[in-house]
């Protein structure tokens, strides 16, 4: 990204970069908690499930508070570092991803899932990876460098997530005869896929911002 004359003559509020980075960090923390809940290598749901669900719920509440702060500041701020609509869209997308993780975590409890399939655990790894890249992207957006490469990595992770989802669905319908079990695991996979897509969408917003300010 290049600085333009307007940036030099009329400095803009930079607090939004800080708040968006806080949002991205909260998302990453939530993703890591979900990964731990999903059982890591053994795929077993931990015995302290309720405690872990409570931790994720707290991250969800924290995410809501940060989003409200961003939206409140948008109403108060005359000059923003980039289009206020883009800031709004990034903030709401990140918050939506955290909300979906909270909902997904509750599914393990509601559905009585005691063992998590390997494809689900792999998807949990991917959401941690793409959330890490999102945090990097918020820093790169402020520095106005390295943005394109991070967006490329995020998109590669999204495509990998698509492949895992398709393979998981094929394997699920081939190896499982229990219709109820199929419905449960299919919904888990769909939520994971939607989380990845939502985070990747933030990358697409930033790509548009880059074009606008170049």
Q: Within 10 Å of residue 6's Cβ, how many Cβ atoms?
A: 11
Q: Enumerate the H helices of the chain as residue ranges.
A: 5-9, 15-37, 49-76, 84-110, 118-143, 147-175, 179-213
Query: What is the pTM for the complete model shown?
Result: 0.91
Residues 121-140: pLDDT tens digits?
999 999 999 999 999 999 99
Q: Within 10 Å of residue 34's Cβ, how many Cβ atoms?
A: 24
For residue 1, tell me if it sits in a domain: no
CA distance 120 to 190: 10
Predicted local distance difference test score (pLDDT) of residue 12: 56
Residue 11, sorted as left (phi over 0), alpha (psi -120 to 50) or beta, turns out to be beta
Lowest mean pLDDT among 4-8, 82-86, 171-175: 4-8
Predicted local distance difference test score (pLDDT) of residue 49: 94
Domain that holds residue 140: 13-213
Which residue would you say has higher pLDDT here, 9 or 26? 26
Q: Which of helix, strand or coil describes residue 165?
A: helix
* pLDDT tier for residue 183 given thresholds of 50, 70 and 90: very high
Average pLDDT over residues 95-119: 95
Count how many domains the chain has.
1
For residue 198, tell me if it sits in a domain: yes
Answer yes or no: is pLDDT of 162 > 50.
yes
* CATH number of the domain encompassing residue 38: 1.20.58.220
Q: Rounded to whole angstroms, what are the CA distances from 8 to 2, 4, 206, 213?
A: 11, 7, 21, 13
Average pLDDT over residues 165-185: 91
For residue 5, tell me if it sits in a domain: no
């Amino acid at each position: 990204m290049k600085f333009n004359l307007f940036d030099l003559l009329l400095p803009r509020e930079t607090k939004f970069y800080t708040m968006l980075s806080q949002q991205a960090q909260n998302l990453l923390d939530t993703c890591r908690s979900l990964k731990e809940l999903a059982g890591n290598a053994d795929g077993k749901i931990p015995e302290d499930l309720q405690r872990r669900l409570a931790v994720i719920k707290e991250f969800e509440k924290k995410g809501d508070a940060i989003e409200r702060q961003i939206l409140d500041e948008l109403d108060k701020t005359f000059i923003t570092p980039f289009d206020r609509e883009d800031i709004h869209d990034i903030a709401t997308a990140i918050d939506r991803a955290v909300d979906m993780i909270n909902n997904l975590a509750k599914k393990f409890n509601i559905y009585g899932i005691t063992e998590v399939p390997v494809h689900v655990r792999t998807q949990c790894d991917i959401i941690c990876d793409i959330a890490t890249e999102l945090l990097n992207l918020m820093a790169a957006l402020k520095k106005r460098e390295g943005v394109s490469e991070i967006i490329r990595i995020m998109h590669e992770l999204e495509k990998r997530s698509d492949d895992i989802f398709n393979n998981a669905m094929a394997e699920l319908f081939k190896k499982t005869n229990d219709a109820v079990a199929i419905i449960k695991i299919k919904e888990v996979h769909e939520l994971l896929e939607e989380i990845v897509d939502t985070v990747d969408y933030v990358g697409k917003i930033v790509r548009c911002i880059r074009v606008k300010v170049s």
